Chains A and B, each alone.
Chain A
């Protein structure tokens, strides 16, 4: 059983296009094409110039984030049957970041913010012979934090990040910051809080919660940001 799926795809190749445009294109799919990414691979077989990133096709590498019918998500986790077929599926690059080409955005600013929170364990004690101990309860604090795949769906759906991508760390970076703050093995909690105690870096979050709405891994950056804010209040009094 095959059927025809209509698309409107954002296209821009700076090598030849004066400005971006929307391409109308359709493709025949069959029952084995279950995810949007499967269909995009078919589209590319038809027109090899459509550029997008993809790798694991199972939602763990974070490559194929894009804006699907106005909402950010991963192409590989979006079921084609969940998208309305009475009108074309509209594919655009993630909003708020410069476009390199077609559906590929320049993620430099996003990673710069991630790197800015020192996303690594800081523990200045000499490493012991064996593993550092951590209770199962303390380890559980990291659940919902360490699973982030850095796809940028959250940060690029956040109005605060759109306005201040150079100053506001954004939901992904703040989730990572809290992942290290919450880790009992990390010794840099107060430096981490100092670094974030800034009108922009942390406090541009206005709990709009778009990040929670779009996270393909079901994570909750707003909650993590709230916990950081709580810790700041607590240490201030």
Chain B
């Protein structure tokens, strides 16, 4: 294939225009740097738009709250796998970034005093775990939509340069390990362009589409993770996936935890509020991993609802209709559309559904990508930043609290942007010479796809991948299933290497895009399965049958051997580990404790 491509030079290139990418872009554009934001969809179509319940900040608008309590909750929620320096940083920054958003024009709901409205959310408590606190700042149940639009609008004001409907293909990383930009394809024309940059920020979102049943959009294919893995960057803690308790049974569409924050109750086939047995204190507002496991246990023990006893019910019929229509109008709409239920009158059928990737590209709290090198476990990868769901700072550890994802993308989108601005202003330098080998590899991958004959179908291969992940790496994990899963996913990988598309058109070829996305999905799937098989303990969202609750290891958590982050390397399908940062920035370490709600 004639390897033709153009080269364009920028100070910075941001890949992804969801919450994290747009927040970083505000930073760079307002600093006057020449910035390109590449997105495979128009910015307001990014998956941040689907976030519902709110963004966490200890504003204390309705009752007393404190960032230190929020920090405690986040560490406890993470089952102590989160890095305490990054968590302190995020919780302390929360008020600032949420207030900024309000200044950008975000239409938050309001209290009677005119302040930002806040509602309770799972795992967020006052006074170090005492009782639920109103910390989630919300715009009805459309917080993500309101936020994404407000940040896109701010970027319009800042005149940010977008490359809309461009698919990023690969990272350009030279022999010294420095990142020099990305290769990307204009979807409308098929043209290949090298974005040569001094700073590259990944904000590509998660890869929830590795699972068959997922709340995630079609576009959530882990493109940033695939690109990073192919460029030799490890992926951190990929065994930790959040299954959201309340996806609409069958459809998978998300029903916000804010429903339970507003007073919604989960019930089994006997009408029992079963969470009282599993989490006597927090009940329906326990952490997501805890609620999801309780639901699956109810279903497994025969107390599920419906003809196949395979879901439970989310009941809000006891709430005043005006509360539902004011605070949860979108949920009312979703229940009608996707469950065929009027939630004012009938409960909504729900099941735990794959939702969020706690792991990702390893970064520090400045948003700089880090990896082991020489004596350092966390050496900075020059020129490379990541934020949002694609990154692992790590603030969510083994389980994320609801509303901390929107906070994560604001705080670390901003800090990644700030770090890049600082670095660019500190050492004004010319663009380093491009690395031809990185570019050639991408061109070879494209040529392979164009020339493949008698290959595997993209649709079928993706379906096998998703079913393999669902069956072997779900809410509860089993040693034998994981072992088998590793073999199966490696078999799927072989098919991914020989996918074939019938459509060879240059113009808006979505078949080609889906094949390229599958190249990224498979990296995430392999990383997940291999990391999960290797971690021989139960922690947060990762719970195995051979690591049960014992006196020595309550909840199956084994701090002696497994209080460490996993690092998966594509090359050699190899695992490494690094320590968890237990020392915060200014306060005392939150000491290890058994997790109960």
Residues of chain A having any CB pair with chain B under 8 Å: 13-16, 32, 34, 44-45, 47-49, 51-63, 77, 100-102, 104, 107, 111, 115, 118-121, 123, 127, 129-136, 138-139, 142, 146-147, 149-150, 180, 183, 185-186
Contact = CB atoms under 8 A, between A and B. Distances in A.
Given A56-B50, A150-B44, A104 B218 contact: no
Given A55-B217, A57-B217, A101-B508, A120 B115 contact: no
Contacts of B341: none
Interface of B: 41-42, 44-47, 49-50, 59, 98-100, 102-105, 107-116, 139, 142, 145-146, 149-150, 153-154, 156-157, 188, 217-219, 250-251, 253-254, 330, 333-334, 337-338, 457-460, 501-503, 505-511, 514
Given A55-B47, A185-B105, A136 B112 contact: yes
Contacts of B150: 121
Given A55-B45, A55-B217, A100-B188, 10 more contacts: A15-B506, A45-B457, A54-B218, A104-B508, A123-B103, A130-B115, A131-B108, A131-B115, A133-B114, A136-B112
Which residue of B98, B108, B139, B507 has the most chain A CB atoms within 10 A of its CB atom?
B507
B153 A60 contact: no
Contacts of A13: 505, 507
Contact of A55 (B41, B108, B109): B41
Contacts of B114: 133-136
A169 B66 CA distance: 46
Nearest to B333: A59
A132 B116 CA distance: 9
Given A132-B103, A147-B145, A120 B510 contact: no
Nearest to A121: B105
A154 B142 CA distance: 21
Contacts of A150: 42, 44
Contacts of A58: 50, 253-254, 334, 337-338
- The A interface is mostly helix, strand or loop, or mixed, namely loop
B44 A56 contact: no
Given A16-B505, A146-B149, A183-B105, A59 B337 contact: yes
A186 B150 CA distance: 13
A8 B218 CA distance: 24
Given A115-B156, A120-B154, A121-B153, A133 B508 contact: no
A32 B337 contact: no
B99 A131 contact: yes
14 contacts: A15-B505, A44-B510, A48-B514, A52-B510, A53-B41, A55-B45, A61-B45, A61-B46, A61-B217, A130-B115, A133-B114, A136-B111, A146-B146, A149-B145
